[in-house]
């Protein structure tokens, strides 16, 4: 069964993130953009495991060669979402893995091996944290909400307006938290720890698993124009929420 083998493969890969020698060996990809030997080792381990779990499948990973389209059996993986956090020992990093069939999300897992928190969802069957059901919170207004935000290095030159909008959001809410990991943010919205989160952009491996987990927990992920993300390319601004806050956030970030 793909479900159980998928979950076990993600758990097994977590041990690689905790190995000091792997996370200490750092390679620079670009300004504020890094990869560690842990990222590379996890990508390789999951690639091998998923090939055995689903023969004929492909894997789209931040640390692997691109794939052509999202047809067929496809795994979308971020080996370590929150690599900079990993480098600094902040324990806010996660393995994010999703399984799709012909473009439809079927399974999603976000695993933080440092806190031993395993967020999981199967399409149509709800979302869990370490096997226990989770659901988004019921915050109905920005004044009642604790929010998250992320803005990565790929769009540094175009983030001024985004930060101006966040300033307005900060004054209307209970505050904004930056975890440094989109996967962690999405899991936290799904579990009610955050009411919503705003992302300046995301790649498919950043959000594929979290999107399914959030959806199965009663939340939603869209653009500011209410369109769904396109798993074939980098997104623009995305909003994840408990659904109640979505209209107010779309109005602010449109």
Q: At residue 155, does pLDDT exceed 50?
A: yes
122-146: average pLDDT: 98
Q: pLDDT of 4-17, one tens digit each?
A: 999 999 999 998 88
| Residue-level pLDDT at 21 | 43
Residue 56: Cβ within 10 Å count:
7
Rounded distance, CA 203 to CA 213, Å?
A: 17
End-to-end CA distance of the chain: 43
Q: pLDDT of 83-105, one tens digit each?
A: 888 888 899 999 999 999 999 99
71-90: average pLDDT: 91
Q: What is the mean pLDDT of the chain?
A: 91
Helices 160-172/246-253 angle, 10° precision:
140
Cβ burial, residue 4 (10 Å; 0-12/13-18/19+): exposed
Question: 210 vs 87, 107, 154, CA distance in Å?
Answer: 23, 10, 20
Token reading at 73: 């059996």
């Amino acid at each position: 069964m793909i479900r159980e083998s998928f979950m076990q493969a993600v758990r097994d890969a977590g041990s690689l993130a905790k190995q000091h020698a792997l996370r200490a060996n750092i390679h620079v990809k670009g300004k504020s953009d890094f990869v560690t030997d842990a990222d590379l080792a996890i990508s390789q381990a999951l690639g091998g495991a998923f090939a055995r779990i689903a023969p004929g499948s492909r894997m789209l990973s931040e640390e692997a060669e691109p794939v052509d389209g999202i047809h067929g059996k496809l795994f979308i993986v971020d080996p370590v979402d929150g690599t900079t956090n990993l480098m600094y020992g902040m324990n806010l990093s996660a393995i994010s893995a999703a399984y799709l069939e012909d473009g439809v999300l079927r399974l999603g897992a976000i695993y933080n091996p440092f806190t031993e928190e395993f967020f999981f969802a199967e399409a149509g069957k709800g979302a869990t944290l370490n096997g226990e059901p989770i659901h988004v919170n019921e915050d109905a207004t920005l004044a009642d909400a604790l929010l998250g935000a992320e803005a990565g290095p790929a769009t540094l030159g175009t983030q001024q307006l985004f930060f101006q909008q966040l300033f307005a959001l900060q004054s209307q809410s209970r505050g904004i938290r930056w975890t440094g990991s989109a996967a962690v943010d999405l899991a936290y919205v799904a579990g009610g720890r955050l009411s919503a989160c705003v992302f300046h952009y995301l790649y498919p491996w950043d959000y594929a698993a979290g999107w399914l987990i959030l959806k199965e927990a009663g939340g939603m992920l869209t653009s500011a124009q209410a369109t769904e993300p396109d798993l074939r390319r980098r997104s623009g601004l995305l909003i994840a929420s408990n659904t109640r806050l979505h209209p107010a956030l779309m109005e602010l970030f449109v």
